[in-house]
């Protein structure tokens, strides 16, 4: 698991799902369709990504495709930061 995926998964589980640390996310699971990401959680996640990875999420980038799954979020962060 990449460090981006690990950070994103940990944030979602700890801050959004409020798990007790023994949960895992399927990185291809739809975070939107499953109800994990509602509008408030989405804003929390964007704030986390901006702070953690030093990027700015532009309004036109706030698309479900960029945040649908952990893998999609990782690809988005990698594209924004030039990481791979």
CB of 28 closer than 8 Å to CB of 69: yes
Query: Quick one: 3-81 is in which CATH superfamily?
Result: ACP-like (1.10.1200.10)
Q: 26 burial class (0-12, 13-18, 19+ CB within 10 angstroms)?
A: exposed
pTM over 0.95: no
What one-character-per-residue DSSP string does 4-26 give? HHHHHHHHIIIIII---S-----
Tens digits of per-residue pLDDT, 52-76? 999 999 999 999 999 999 999 999 9
């Amino acid at each position: 698991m990449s460090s981006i995926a690990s950070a994103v998964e940990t944030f979602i589980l700890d801050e959004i799902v409020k798990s007790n640390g023994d949960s895992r996310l399927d990185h291809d699971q739809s975070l939107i369709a499953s109800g994990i990401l509602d509008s408030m959680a989405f804003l929390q996640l964007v704030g986390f990504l901006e702070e953690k990875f030093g990027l700015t999420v532009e309004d036109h980038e706030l698309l479900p495709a960029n945040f649908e799954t952990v893998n999609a979020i990782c690809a988005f962060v990698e594209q924004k930061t030039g990481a791979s």
